[in-house]
């Protein structure tokens, strides 16, 4: 392939989040000898959480700070900027992540971008309201949609016309398996539970706070790390009886310290696509507990590579007791090794990037042959 494929990566900003991190990993890993990579942060109102985007070699990064503060004016300004940027640059392909970015891009994209835009759906369709689902089903006619797990892909197929099914793909998230990350040792004799992520209703961390009140005598500490949201105040209220056992940490792009300090990761989400935090824990050999909704593609096998519960408080309490009982035993080593081997084989950054590159090249070649 003589000519590089000019590809634009569009996102409002690289704030904290699993989707933003995967966006960054794809940009870092994509073959720069094949792809001419341009990154556009079109609503750069605050400094990027993943600031390393500016130090990646052989890419160009453009930031745009919106002038207006009123939300309607901001949207109009953002749409105008996106349309101008797309028109001037004439990208061969465009990739974006998160619903609003995909919506904005596909609304304003000039006609010649038909079949050149790849958007992503990074969560269960249960989290999408009727308007979002209608918009996706309409906009997919001139673009492509990538899911990060098979369950939401199949769910979307069930509610959409078969004619668009060839525009839908599934690519799992990818994680770095370098020696600085994997198998971090926790030499403490304390047992600490951990929850990592934004404290939203979807993440359901409030359930962990409730259940911790029933089990805390057998556990040394509970650590939450992530941005505050609509459940933070209630979590604090439930746990304010004993601050020696409970810690709320601010977001930090270096999550190794979080995992060094915990023995058990708890993911009580009502629903997830391909949960980043789960695999970050698995490659660091931490015991993982996930709700059935968070274990969308059976990433964990109950009792073999982690613990899965039915979503109830009673189910979480039972799984916590089972997990706590094996800390420091051969069973813990067996379960964490099983989880590590599974994650290493199926969820490396290299595997993820290769699948995206294959998708991008196939779309590019089809467009070229049809012109």
Nearest alpha carbon to residue 13 among 51, 56, 60, 69: 51
Q: What pLDDT digit, counting tens, does each position of 198-234 carry?
A: 899 989 999 999 999 888 767 879 999 998 899 999 9
Per-residue pLDDT, 179: 43
Q: Residue 185: inside a domain, yes or no? A: no
Instruction: Read off the pTM.
Output: 0.79
Contact by Cβ (8 Å): 335, 326: yes
Question: Is the same domain home to 23 and 161?
Answer: yes
Question: Is the same domain home to 170 and 205?
Answer: no
Question: Is the same domain home to 355 and 340?
Answer: no
Per-residue pLDDT, 178: 66
Q: What pLDDT digit, counting tens, does each position of 113-149 carry?
A: 999 999 998 776 767 778 888 888 888 988 999 999 8
Greatest Cα pair distance, the chain, in angstroms, is 68
* pLDDT band at residue 57 using 50, 70 and 90 as cut-offs: very high
Per-residue pLDDT, 111: 93
Question: Is the same domain home to 167 and 253?
Answer: no
Q: What pLDDT digit, counting tens, does each position of 10-35 carry?
A: 999 998 888 899 999 999 999 999 99
Question: Cα separations (Å) of 148 from 75, 123, 171, 245, 310?
Answer: 27, 8, 5, 35, 22
Residue 243 has pLDDT above 90, yes or no: no
Kind plus residue range of the DSSP H or E element containing 197: none
Question: Is the same domain home to 75 and 222?
Answer: no
* pLDDT band at residue 193 using 50, 70 and 90 as cut-offs: very high
* pLDDT band at residue 176 using 50, 70 and 90 as cut-offs: confident
Burial 248-263 (b: 16+ CB within 10 A, else e): beebeeebeebbebbb
Nearest alpha carbon to residue 208 among 151, 265, 259, 258: 265
Q: Residue 179: inside a domain, yes or no? A: no
Per-residue pLDDT, 108: 96
Question: Is the same domain home to 10 and 107?
Answer: yes
Per-residue pLDDT, 43: 95
* CATH number of the domain to which 25 belongs: 3.40.50.2000
Contacts (Cβ under 8 Å, ≥6 apart) of 155: 124, 125, 126
Backbone torsions φ then ψ of 214, nearest 5 degrees: -90, -15
Structural domains of the chain, count: 2
* pLDDT band at residue 186 using 50, 70 and 90 as cut-offs: low
Q: What is the DSSP string of 52-110?
A: GGGG-TTEEEEE------SHHHHHHHHHHHHHHHHHHH--SEEEE-SHHHHHHHHHH--
Residue 1 has pLDDT above 60, yes or no: no
Distance CA 321, CA 191 (A): 12
Contacts (Cβ under 8 Å, ≥6 apart) of 334: none
Question: Is the same domain home to 94 and 125?
Answer: yes
Contacts (Cβ under 8 Å, ≥6 apart) of 20: 11, 14, 49, 50, 97
Mean pLDDT of 308-313: 97
* pLDDT band at residue 242 using 50, 70 and 90 as cut-offs: low
Per-residue pLDDT, 113: 96
Question: Is the same domain home to 242 and 339?
Answer: yes
Kind plus residue range of the DSSP H or E element containing 47: none
Q: Which domain holds residue 47?
A: 5-174+348-370
């Amino acid at each position: 392939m003589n000519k590089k494929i000019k590809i634009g990566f569009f996102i409002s900003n690289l704030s904290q989040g699993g989707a933003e991190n995967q966006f960054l990993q794809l940009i870092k890993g994509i073959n720069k000898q094949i792809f001419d990579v341009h990154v556009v942060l079109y609503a750069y109102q605050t400094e990027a959480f993943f600031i390393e985007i500016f130090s990646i070699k052989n890419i160009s990064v453009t930031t745009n700070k919106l002038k207006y503060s009123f939300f309607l004016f901001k949207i109009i300004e953002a749409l105008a900027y996106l349309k101008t940027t797309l028109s001037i640059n004439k990208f061969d392909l465009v990739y974006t992540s998160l619903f609003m970015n995909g919506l904005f891009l596909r609304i304003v994209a000039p006609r010649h971008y038909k079949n050149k835009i790849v958007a992503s759906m990074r969560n269960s369709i249960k989290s999408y309201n009727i308007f979002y689902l209608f918009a996706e089903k309409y906009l997919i006619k001139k673009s492509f949609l990538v899911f990060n797990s098979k369950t939401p892909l199949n769910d979307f197929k069930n509610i959409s016309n078969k004619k668009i099914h060839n525009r839908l793909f599934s690519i799992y998230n990818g994680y770095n398996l370098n020696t600085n990350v994997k198998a971090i040792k926790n030499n403490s004799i304390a047992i600490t539970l951990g929850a990592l992520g934004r404290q939203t209703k979807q993440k359901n961390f409030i359930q962990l706070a409730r259940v911790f009140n029933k089990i805390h005598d057998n556990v040394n500490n509970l650590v939450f790390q992530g941005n505050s949201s609509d459940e933070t105040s209630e979590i604090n209220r439930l746990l304010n009886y004993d601050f020696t056992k409970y810690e709320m940490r601010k977001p930090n792009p270096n999550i190794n310290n979080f995992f060094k300090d915990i023995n058990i990761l708890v993911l009580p989400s009502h629903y997830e696509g391909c949960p980043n935090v789960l695999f970050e824990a698995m490659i660091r050999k931490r015991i993982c507990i996930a709700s059935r909704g968070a274990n969308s593609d059976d990433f964990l096998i109950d009792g073999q590579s982690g613990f899965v519960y039915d979503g109830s408080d009673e189910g979480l309490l039972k799984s916590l007791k089972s997990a706590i009982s094996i800390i420091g035993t051969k069973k813990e080593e067996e379960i964490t090794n099983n989880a590590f081997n599974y994650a290493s084989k199926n969820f490396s950054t290299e595997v993820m990037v290769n699948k995206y590159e294959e998708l991008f090249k196939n779309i590019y070649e089809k467009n070229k042959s049809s012109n």
